[in-house]
Every structure is written in C-alpha cells, then in structure tokens.
Structure 1
C-alpha cells in the first residue's frame, strides 16, 4: 500500500510539473499580444524576473520545453511502472490498461489543456507567478538549456528554417481586428478608425475630394472687393484662381496673404497674380495614402484634382485626407449640415453627396455604385435623365425621392423603405 501511495504521489508531482511548464509557455508567449498588457500591473521584482527571462527567448523556449518533456516522461514512466506492479500482484490487463489510460487523460487535461487555458486568460499575472520557479529551473539546468539552444541554431543554419506560414492577407487582419474589437469596450469611433486604416490605401482622391460644383474659386480678372468676399465665403483658407474657366487654374490664393494686404498700408495690388502661389495638380485616380505623403513632403495643404481629360474635377485638402482616418473634423467655420438626417416616418433625408458605400453600410443594402460615387449619382443613373424634384426610383428595397436639385445636380434625397408593391414594379422596369 505504501508503494501505491508513493507511485500516486510521484505521478501527481509529474502532473504538477507538467501543468507548471504548460502554464509558463502559454503565459510568456502571450505577453506580446494585447492581452499581455495586464503584466504592467505586476510587482516590480516579479516584473524584473519576467523581463530577464523574455530577454533570452531561445533559452526560455528550450527551458520550458525541456521541463514539460521531462515532466510528461516522468509521469508516463511512473504510470508504466504502476501498471506492471499491479499485474505482478494479480491484477488483470484491464486494470493495468486503465491506469495508463487514466494517466494519459490526466496529462492531457491537467498537465496541458487546463493550465494553458488559465494562463492565456491572464498571461501577465501568470508570468509573474511562474517567474521565480522558472528562473530557478533555468539556473539548475543552464548548461543543458544552453546546449539545446546552440544545437537548435546550428540545425537551422544547416538545413534552413522550416516552412513558414503563408503571409496574412488584409482580409485576415480585418477579421482579427473585428474579432478583437468586438470583445473590447472600444467606442464606435475608435473601431471605425481602426478599420478605416485598412481601407485607407485603397481610397482614391476622387472619393474624398470637393467636387467641381462645390469649389469656391476666383477668376483672375475679378475685382478686389469681390475677391475678398469670395475668400471669406470659402470653407478653405486656400482658393483656386483661374482664367476664363476652372479648367485653367493659374495659382492658389492663400487667405493669409490676402489678410496681409487687407491690413497693410500699400493698398491692393494691381495684379492678383502677384499674390498667387503655385498650384499642385494631381489625377483623381491617385491613392490618398500617396497623396498624404506628397502633402507631407512638399508641405502643401491643397491640390487641384484633374480628370482623365485634363479638366478640373475638384480640389482636395489635407483635411479631406485626414477625415478618412479620424472622421469628420468640424471647426468654427464649418456649417453643420449632416449628410444623413433620420425622419419621423422611419425614412432618411440624405445629402446628394453622401457616399453610396456609406449608405450601404448604414442600412445594410448592396446598391451597385459602379460608375458613380454618391447617392445623388445613383439616383441620376437609375433615372437615366436630368432629375426633377419629386421624381423617385426604387433600388435594393429603398425608394429614393428627389427633394432638391441645383442646376443639373441632385442635392437632397429622401429615402424610405419601399412598400411590397413598389419592389416588383422596380424589378419589372429593370427587366424591361
């Protein structure tokens, strides 16, 4: 009986050691993930021990692996000896096999899965708890661990590293971010900022620019008084100056240069062009991450956007680019005009400039925005003609009613969920 108790105690010690090393591995190698930030609250002595262990990752990894291997082998050997001992005393094969099976199950659950799961949940705290014992183990078997690490490096140099995992795609990273942020208390704005980083490089200037109809510009022959009024009415502190049309921009007028003249004593200049700065022209297909680098390199804040035919498509500012990352930036000069306004009847009043993809994200639709950018463009495309107030189209289960038109452009749209009768009619019109 005393031998049986001794064998049980020896197996229990092996299980405890296996659990210890499994918890150490899970905790230490999770500290590089966001969950490891909990380690920051550990006491200074424990934190110092953890940092010293992490400073030599090869030795740490081999020391933990060696300890876990020895613990599992010890536990298996004790179980094997115990099964032989039982058979020598008349126990049958079922009893001996049961001892081995129970030990294997205990090693799997107690010596592997359970401690790893517990340590992964709070890696910082568990790393601090394991640090003292692991440091002592490293010191005790230092020559063996150093030899293992050296052999591993020599092997890698001789045969090369093993097959590496395929690089993660942007979609893989998006999925990880979505899963991580869903489990945290990040605000919606912070989540959007994180996700916008991944789409930033694929966004073109055309998607963020101020379109030509909304550009405040000045003709080079405009009187001084009208020029001052135009600059004051502009939303930007830099205004394009052109000759006969906006397709012939000759320079950019800075409000600060204008202010210096207004408050100076020399009076207005005879030639407005003498105040202008050189204009920067970029294609509308340029990616905004490239544009941001160009803005930083050249120290400019505004560029004139040209289309494929060389005509002026609009202007884009540094603020437009940054808003793609951080959202709308409102200053004291911005007029608060929401792009989306909820209505009492469950509908939405939309600014015609609202991006069609943003509307899809807002209401869960999949409106095809090919060839256009905005909701106003979608409605105009579906109508197939110049829109007039009151006209409507039904797309993807939503009816869009034109509420405001300026010139040939749709500026206000009311969107309401389509009634069951409207949807078949819309599909029939599409089929025709």
Structure 2
C-alpha cells in the first residue's frame, strides 16, 4: 500500500506542478526542479514508468489479499478480500496520497523524482517497450508523443493570471499590466487629439498674432500650418521659439527654418506598434493621417504612456471626470466630444468602442442622422437624452445609468 501510495502521489504531484514556477526554479538551478523538468520532457515515459510500478504493486497486493482471504475464510474470503482491498486501495493508495500531492505538489514531486530517476534507468527497456506499443496505437489515431503542447499563455489567459494574482500584485500594478495587454487592441485614433482640437498656428497670420500665440503656448511643441491644417509645415519646439524670441531679428523666415520635420502616423496603427516606432525613430509626437493623407489628429508619446500608467498631472487635456458631470437626480451630463473609451474606463460603463471614438459620433451613427435637442434613445441599455446640438455636433447629452436594462 505504501509503494502504491508513493506512485499515485508522484503521478499527481508531477502533473500538478505549476510549469511557470518550475521554469523559474529551473533557471535558479534548483536540483529538484532540474530533475523534474528532465522527467517531464518525455511525459509518455514518466507516465509509463509510474503506471508500471503502480500496477505491479496493486496486482501483487491483490494476489496477497486473495491468498490470505482464502486461508482465513475459504471461498468466501475471495469476495471479502476483493471488497476490503478495494476500500483500502482507494483510501490509502489513491485518494489520500493524490489529494496530498495536489495540495503540495512541489513537496511530493521534488523528493520522489530522485527514486523515479533511478527506476527509469533500471526499468528503461521495459518502459521503452511499453511506450513503443502505446505510441504505435496512438499513431493509428494520428497522435504523436512529439505533439506535446507548450504551456504558453494566450493574452486572455494572461489577463486571468493577473486578475487572480490577488494581493500578490497591487491593484495599481494590475491595472498597468492590463493596460499593457490592451495596447495591441487600441489604435492611435482612440487616444489622439482630434484635428479640430489641435492647437496650431497659421503661419500666414499677422506676425504680431503669431508672436502672441508663441508666447502664450502651453505645449512644448506647436504645429505650424498654412491656411488649413492639412497643409502642415512642421512643429516648432518651445525651446527653439524662446531662443528666436530673444534675438532682435526674429522673422517668419527664421521661424520656418527652425521647424522640425513632421512625423506621420497611419490611422489604424496599434499603440504597441506605435510605441516601438516612436522609440526607433526617436520621436515623441506625430500627426495621424488617413489613406488619403488628410490629417485626422495628433498623438504624442505621453498619450500612449498614459494608457499604461494613467493620466499625468501635467497633462493639459480634459479628464473624463470633467466631461461627465453628475446631476442631483443621479443622471450624468456628458460632453459630446468625450472619448468613449475614457468615459467607459472612468465611469465603468459599457458603450461600444468598435466604431466612433466620440460620444457624439456614437449617437449620430446609431440614429443615422444628426438629431435635434430633446431626442431620447437607448444605446447599450443606457437611456440617453440629447440636450444641446450645435454646428452639426451633439454638444451635451444626458445619460441615466440607473435605468440601464440589457
């Protein structure tokens, strides 16, 4: 029974090990982990060895129990021995040792691997013969022992690991890890500053106006353009502008010579890809363009980093809390230009994000027309009332999340 319990617990312990922790211990040259990893490289041989040993001792126990039963009780002893042995094996050689091994797999697997390694050498010819037969049978079904699946995690499985980590990973770090996993699903359009909100200077304006805008600029880099934003000239760095402002002969020509080349970003680029491109090109800001070359918005390195670590205190953009205002009746007034992903994250709402990026765009797409004020609708189960429409855009809408019904 003890030997049977050993083989049963060894089998469960080996198969219950956390493979990622095992790899970690293996890298640290843990002797037990190295032995177990070597055995698990050929699980067909390991299982064959364990089952050979387990079946040998169980059959031997059955034979001994039958002989004892017959000597004590005659023919009736066979039935008694069968019943008693079944009960004893289940309790002491199967359920108890396997449960123990499932709870403490490392404490069982690492020590037992010493004896298993020796037994594998001793019984190697028998193990190979049995594996040859079993692998031959599996080939009839198109299965090979070489088809062992690597224990790699998919993105969704990795999300589950992060969520299930509990107190092992602080909540803030969990949110950062989840944001990193989301980078490949989020595109530059989701985080860009729309073209109508880009702060830029028309180089064809009066020189005094240009000087005033440069002096009061709140951003490190300012876009310069001619007449319309699609005819962009380049970015002027505040440091370069300050240096030029200190000179007596500061002219448009000098300003244009100081502009830096524009870095263009195709729309649809995922954030993880763009982050790498920013790093490779040593850029920090770029203009998002569509397939026709028209400028759709502006993206900075800070915008991408904020998706991971959250908003920086120095950001000039409005937060979702400023665009979503709680009313005394429990409803919320939402700015039409608010980014849907931002308000979903801030308010824990579930508005669809696979279409328009702004709240106004979502409503217009749903209605398939530009609505008038005081029109009511329901999107994703949320009752919405349009409060103000101006310049073909929904400026303010009311959301009543308390009455959401899926």
Give the TM-score, by structure 2 length.
Answer: 0.76
Query: Pick from 77, 80, 95: which aligns with 1:109?
Result: 95
* C-alpha separation in 2, matches of 1:229 and 1:66: 83
**After superposition, what is the alpha-carbon deviation per residue over 1:380-411, rounded to whole angstroms, capped at 9, x for unaligned?**
345665566x5343213433344566644334
Cα 1:169–1:373, aligned 2, differ >3 Å: closer, same or farther? farther
8 A Cα contact 1:241 1:253, kept in partner = yes
- Once the two structures are overlaid, the 10-residue window that deviates more, 240-249 or 326-335, is 326-335
8 A Cα contact 1:59 1:146, kept in partner = no
Residue in 2 that maps onto 1:50: 32
Residue 210 of structure 1, CA deviation: 0.5
Residue 231 of structure 1, CA deviation: 4.5
Residue in 2 that maps onto 1:17: 6
Residue in 2 that maps onto 1:221: 204
**After superposition, what is the alpha-carbon deviation per residue over 1:82-109, rounded to whole angstroms, capped at 9, x for unaligned?**
1232124315132132134224423331
1:20-169 matches, within 5 Å, as 20-22=9-11, 24-26=13-15, 29-30=17-18, 32-33=20-21, 48-53=30-35, 56-57=38-39, 66=49, 69-71=52-54, 73-89=56-72, 90-92=74-76, 93-106=78-91, 107-112=93-98, 114-120=99-105, 123=106, 126=107, 131=110, 134-135=113-114, 137=115, 141=119, 143-144=121-122, 161-165=145-149
8 A Cα contact 2:331 2:398, kept in partner = yes
Question: For the aligned residues, what is the CA RMSD?
Answer: 4.3
For 1:313, what is the secondary structure of its paired residue? Answer: strand
- Once the two structures are overlaid, the 10-residue window that deviates more, 86-95 or 218-227, is 218-227
* C-alpha separation in 2, matches of 1:249 and 1:111: 73
For 2:166, what is the secondary structure of its paired residue? Answer: coil
8 A Cα contact 1:302 1:318, kept in partner = yes
* Gapped regions of structure 2 (runs ≥ 5): none
Query: Pick from 347, 355, 369: which aligns with 2:339?
Result: 355
Residue in 2 that maps onto 1:378: 362
**After superposition, what is the alpha-carbon deviation per residue over 1:157-178, rounded to whole angstroms, capped at 9, x for unaligned?**
x9964435599895xx415523
8 A Cα contact 1:19 1:110, kept in partner = no
Residue 379 of structure 1, CA deviation: 2.9
* C-alpha separation in 1, matches of 2:310 and 2:355: 25
Q: How many residues align?
A: 390
1:309-320 matches, within 5 Å, as 309-320=292-303
1:189-204 matches, within 5 Å, as 189-204=172-187
Residue in 1 that maps onto 2:195: 212
8 A Cα contact 1:210 1:314, kept in partner = yes
Cα 1:213–1:153, aligned 2, differ >3 Å: closer, same or farther? farther
**After superposition, what is the alpha-carbon deviation per residue over 1:49-72, rounded to whole angstroms, capped at 9, x for unaligned?**
435535745589767974674255
Residue in 2 that maps onto 1:430: none
